[in-house]
C-alpha cells in the first residue's frame, strides 16, 4: 500500500508499505477515502509544530471505510463509513477518569504523536470510530476540525443571549462561528484578511465582521452588538498580540476562550482582568460526544459543509502540490485529499 511520509520539514516520501492485516481484538482495518489538510499538517511541513518528531505519517481528518474488524469489536461493521476521533489515550489518567478524553495526560494524537492517516489503509481502535449511514466521505473528514469549534463553544457555554466575537477566520475559527450560530447567539468575526471576512459573511449567519487592522475596533464591535461588547471572545489565532487584545474586547463579566496555541509565555494586565471579572478558558481537541453531536446536526441538515472544501488534490499528487496550499494567494479554506 502507498504511504506518504514526512521525513523532515519540507521533504515527503511516497513509500510502498506492506499492509499488516493482523488485527487486535478491538481494532479495525480501514480504507482511507479522504484526508483533510489542517494547520497541524502545515506546521509540521514547515518544521514549526510543537511536540513533534520526524519521520511522521500525517493525517487525522479522515473519511474512512471499515474493511475488517477484530473479534471483540462492536458498534461498527464491515462496510460502514466512519470518521475517526484521533485522540488516543494510551493510559487512563486522571483527566480521562473525569471524562476529559480530549486532554488526557497520556494522550497520543493520531497523525501527530504517532503515525496517522496519509496511507491507503490504516488500523485503529474501533472505539474511536464514529459512523454515519448518511454522510459522505468528505463530510466525515470534516467532523474532526468541526469538533474543535464545537468543543470550544461547549467550553464557553454559549447561550442565545450571548454576543460572541470569534477572532481568526481560518477553518477552526469558521467551525467555532458555525456552532456559536447553532446556539442562536449573535456572532461576529475579526480577522486581518478581507477575503476571509467576505467568506464568513457569504457562508455564515453573522451580524458582521471587523478588520483588526482598522482603527476603532472596539467602536465597531459596539456597533455590531447594539452598543455592547461581546460577552464571549474566542481566539483561534494562536497569536500573542491577538490573545492579549481579547481582554480589551470582552464585556465586563465576560468569558474568553483560547483555542489557538501560542508557543510561548502569555501575560496580561491583571488589574483589567480583575476589574472586568473575566473568565479565561482553554479549549483543546474535542470529545467523543462532540463527534456524535456534529454527525447528528449534519445528518439533520442543521450544519452545512458545502462551502468548506475549496481545494482538492489526488493522494499521489500531494507531495508536489502541498507547498502551494501554504500560499496565501491560493485562498485555501480546506483542502481535501482524495484516494
C-alpha cell belonging to residue 289: 460526544
- Residue 232 placed within a domain: yes
**Looking at the structure, do residues 68 and 22 belong to the same domain, yes or no?**
yes
In this predicted structure, the answer to whether residue 51 has a pLDDT above a threshold of 80 is no
Q: Are 169 and 145 spatial neighbours (Cβ–Cβ below 8 Å)?
A: no
**Would you say how long the chain is, in residues?**
339
- Residue 294 placed within a domain: no
Give pLDDT tens digits for 226-245: 999 999 999 999 999 999 99
**Looking at the structure, do residues 9 and 125 belong to the same domain, yes or no?**
yes
In this predicted structure, the answer to whether residue 322 has a pLDDT above a threshold of 90 is yes
Q: What is the pLDDT of residue 263?
A: 86
In this predicted structure, the answer to whether residue 314 has a pLDDT above a threshold of 80 is yes
Q: What is the pLDDT of residue 52?
A: 83
Give pLDDT tens digits for 154-196: 999 999 999 999 999 999 999 999 999 999 999 999 999 999 9
**Looking at the structure, do residues 41 and 66 belong to the same domain, yes or no?**
yes
**Looking at the structure, do residues 193 and 313 belong to the same domain, yes or no?**
no
Mean pLDDT of the 246-272 span: 95
CATH number for position 9 = 3.90.180.10
Q: Are 163 and 208 spatial neighbours (Cβ–Cβ below 8 Å)?
A: no
**Looking at the structure, do residues 106 and 177 belong to the same domain, yes or no?**
no
C-alpha cell belonging to residue 295: 454527525
**Looking at the structure, do residues 69 and 185 belong to the same domain, yes or no?**
no
**Looking at the structure, do residues 200 and 268 belong to the same domain, yes or no?**
yes
- Residue 105 placed within a domain: yes
Q: Nearest Cα to 200, choosing from 233, 175, 232, 235? A: 175
**Looking at the structure, do residues 47 and 159 belong to the same domain, yes or no?**
no
**Looking at the structure, do residues 205 and 159 belong to the same domain, yes or no?**
yes
In this predicted structure, the answer to whether residue 93 has a pLDDT above a threshold of 90 is yes
**Domain boundary, last residue among 244, 266, 282:** 282
**Looking at the structure, do residues 163 and 69 belong to the same domain, yes or no?**
no
Give pLDDT tens digits for 113-140: 999 999 999 999 999 999 999 999 999 9
| Mean pLDDT, the chain, whole residue set | 95
Q: What is the pLDDT of residue 199?
A: 94
Q: What is the pLDDT of residue 313?
A: 97
CATH number for position 244 = 3.40.50.720
- Residue 299 placed within a domain: no
> What is the extent of the structural domain holding 175?
148-282
Exposure string (b/e) for 222-231, b if CB count within 10 Å is 16 or more?
eebbeeebbb
Number of domains in the chain: 2
Does pTM top 0.85 for this prediction? Answer: yes
Give pLDDT tens digits for 211-220: 999 989 999 9
Q: Which of 41-50, 102-111, 206-215, 310-319 has the lowest mean pLDDT?
A: 41-50
Q: How confident is the model at residue 48 (pLDDT cuts 50, 70, 90)?
A: confident
**Domain boundary, last residue among 282, 299, 329:** 282
**Looking at the structure, do residues 199 and 83 belong to the same domain, yes or no?**
no
- Residue 141 placed within a domain: no
- Residue 263 placed within a domain: yes
Q: Are 259 and 276 spatial neighbours (Cβ–Cβ below 8 Å)?
A: no
Amino acid at each position: 500500500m502507498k504511504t506518504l511520509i514526512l521525513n523532515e520539514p519540507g521533504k515527503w516520501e511516497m513509500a510502498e508499505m506492506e499492509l499488516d492485516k493482523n488485527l487486535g481484538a478491538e481494532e479495525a482495518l480501514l480504507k482511507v477515502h479522504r484526508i483533510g489538510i489542517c494547520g497541524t499538517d502545515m506546521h509540521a511541513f514547515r518544521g514549526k509544530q510543537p511536540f513533534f518528531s520526524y519521520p511522521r505519517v500525517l493525517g487525522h481528518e479522515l473519511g474512512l471505510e471499515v474493511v475488517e474488524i477484530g473479534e471483540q469489536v462492536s458498534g461498527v461493521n464491515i462496510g460502514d463509513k466512519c470518521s475517526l476521533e484521533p485522540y488516543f489515550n494510551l493510559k487512563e489518567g486522571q483527566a480521562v477518569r473525569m471524562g476529559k478524553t480530549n486532554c488526557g495526560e497520556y494522550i497520543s494524537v493520531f497523525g501527530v504523536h504517532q503515525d496517522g492517516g496519509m496511507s491507503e489503509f490504516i488500523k485503529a481502535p474501533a472505539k474511536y470510530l464514529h459512523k454515519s449511514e448518511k454522510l459522505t466521505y468528505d463530510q466525515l473528514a470534516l467532523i474532526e476540525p468541526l469538533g474543535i469549534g464545537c468543543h470550544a463553544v461547549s467550553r464557553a457555554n454559549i447561550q442565545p443571549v450571548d454576543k460572541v466575537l470569534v477572532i481568526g477566520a481560518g477553518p477552526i475559527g469558521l467551525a467555532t462561528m458555525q456552532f456559536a450560530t447553532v446556539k442562536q447567539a449573535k456572532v461576529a468575526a475579526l480577522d486581518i484578511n478581507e477575503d476571509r471576512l467576505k467568506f464568513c459573511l457569504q457562508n455564515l449567519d453573522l451580524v458582521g465582521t471587523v478588520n483588526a487592522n482598522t482603527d476603532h475596533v472596539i467602536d465597531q464591535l459596539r456597533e455590531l452588538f447594539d452598543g455592547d461588547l461581546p460577552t464571549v471572545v474566542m481566539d483561534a489565532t494562536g497569536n500573542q498580540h491577538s490573545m492579549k487584545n481579547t481582554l480589551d474586547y470582552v464585556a465586563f463579566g465576560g468569558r474568553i476562550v483560547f483555542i489557538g496555541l501560542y508557543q510561548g509565555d502569555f501575560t496580561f494586565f491583571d488589574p483589567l482582568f480583575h476589574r472586568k471579572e473575566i473568565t479565561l478558558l482553554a479549549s483543546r481537541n474535542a470529545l467523543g460526544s462532540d463527534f456524535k453531536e456534529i454527525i447528528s446536526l449534519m445528518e439533520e441538515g442543521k450544519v452545512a459543509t458545502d462551502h468548506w472544501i475549496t481545494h482538492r488534490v489526488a493522494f499521489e499528487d500531494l507531495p508536489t502540490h502541498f507547498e502551494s496550499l501554504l500560499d496565501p494567494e491560493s485562498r485555501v479554506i480546506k483542502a481535501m485529499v482524495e484516494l
